[in-house]
A = this chain, B = another copy of it.
Amino acid sequence: MLVGIGPGSVEHMTGRARAAIAEADTIIGYVTYIKLVADLIEGKEVIRKSMTEELDRAIEALARARAGKKVALVSSGDAGVYGMAGPTYEVLFEAGWTPDSGIAVEIVPGASALNSCAALVGAPLTHDFCAISLSDLLTPWPVIARRLDAVAQADFVVALYNPKSGRRTQQIVQAQQLLLRHRRPDTPVAIVKSAYRRREQISFTTLDQMAEADIGMLSTVLIGNSQTFVREGRMVTPRGYANKYALEEGGATRAGEQAGRSLSTGLLGWLRALQAEHQAGATPDELARRHRLPADYIVQALLAPAEAPTAAAAEEGEA
C-alpha cells in the first residue's frame, strides 16, 4: 500500500490513508511522516528511512510482502507525484511481479505539494498548470530546460518541485532565466515551505527575484501565468471569465458570447474564422505565424469540420 499522506498534518490525511497504515504489519517511510501516525503504529515493524534512495525502500517493501507481510510505504503528498509509486512498480517489474503473484498493490491518493501549497496562497492553479522537478539526479539538464522553455512560452502556471538543495543551487537560477524569456519580470511567485506543518513559511516574490529568495529542499515554488495577480495577500490565476463576461458591467455576457457555450474563439468559432481568413487569401504559413501554431496543424485545421453540433447533442448541458 503506497500511502500518500498529504502535506504532513494529521487532519489532512484521508480516512483510507489512516486505515491502510492501521492495517499494515510493516511501515516504511521517512521518519518525519511516521511520527504523524504514531498512534497507529503500535506493535508494528517500523522501518524509518532517512534520505536514502527510493529504490531501497521499494526493495525492502517487496521483501516484506514476499514474506507475507502487509506493508505500508508512506509518502508525503501523493505517492504518484515524484513519489514512491513509480520506483515501486519499476522494482516490482524488475523482480518479475505480476498481479496474480500473490502481492496486491494499492496506491492511496493524497493531495500533492502543489495542491497543499496552492491552498495556502490563494488560487494560483485555477488554469492549466504543470509540475517540473529541478532535480537533475536522474534527468539530464537539457530535458528540464526544454520543458521550462515550453511551458513558459505556452503560458502555464508552473509548480517547481525539488527547486534547490545544498548541492543544486544553480538550477533555480537557470530556471528563472528560461522563464524570463517569456514571462514578465513581475510575474507573481509564491514559495511555500512545510505546508500545514509547524515550521510553515509562505512568501511572495516576483520572477526576477526568485533566484535570490529563501528556497530550500522543503520548498515548493509556484510561478504564475501571464494573468496571475496578487491581491490582499492572495495569489490568484483567473479562470477566464473576462473572456465571456464584462465583469465591470455587472457580469453581462459580451457581444457574441453565450453562457454555457464555447467562446466565439473556441474551437468551432476559431476554425470557421480560420477558414474564412484562408478564403480571404491568407496562406497557411501566414496563418501559422498569426496564430503562433505549427503550419502543418493549420493545414489540418483548415480541413476540419466546423459545423455546430446537432440539436440533440446541444441539449446536454455543461458546466
Contact = CB atoms under 8 A, between A and B. Distances in A.
Interface of A: 4, 6-7, 10-16, 19, 50-55, 78-83, 85-90, 93-94, 97-99, 105, 107-112, 115-116, 118-120, 122-133, 136-147, 149-151, 153-156, 165-171, 173-174, 177-178, 181, 217, 231-234, 236-241, 243-245, 247, 251, 259-263, 265-271, 291-294, 296-297, 300-301, 304-305, 309, 313-319
A123 B109 CA distance: 11
B166 A231 contact: no
Given A87-B239, A145-B297, 16 more contacts: A79-B119, A87-B241, A90-B239, A110-B115, A129-B131, A136-B262, A136-B263, A138-B239, A141-B267, A142-B293, A149-B293, A165-B316, A166-B313, A168-B318, A170-B268, A181-B294
A237 B266 CA distance: 32
A122 B55 CA distance: 17
B137 A315 contact: no
B16 A15 contact: no
Contact of A86 (B126, B231, B313): B126
Contacts of A110: 111, 115
B53 A167 contact: no
Contacts of A165: 316, 318
A267 B170 contact: yes
Total copies of this chain within the assembly: 2
| Centre residue among A87, A97, A267 by max chain B CB count within 10 A | A267
B109 A140 contact: no
A141 B292 CA distance: 12
A309 B109 contact: no
Contact of A232 (B52, B99, B131, B167): B99
25 contacts: A7-B109, A12-B15, A15-B15, A78-B118, A78-B119, A80-B118, A82-B127, A85-B123, A87-B241, A89-B234, A90-B236, A107-B118, A109-B111, A109-B116, A109-B119, A130-B156, A136-B263, A136-B267, A140-B270, A145-B293, A146-B293, A151-B151, A167-B309, A170-B305, A181-B296
| Centre residue among A78, A140, A251, A261 by max chain B CB count within 10 A | A140
Contacts of A240: 138-139
A86 B319 contact: no
A151 B130 contact: yes
Nearest to A170: B267
A119 B128 contact: no
A146 B292 contact: yes
Nearest to A166: B316
B51 A317 contact: yes
Nearest to A195: B109
Contact of A167 (B146, B178, B262): B262
Contact of A137 (B52, B124, B260): B260
B14 A11 contact: yes
A277 to B, nearest CB: 12
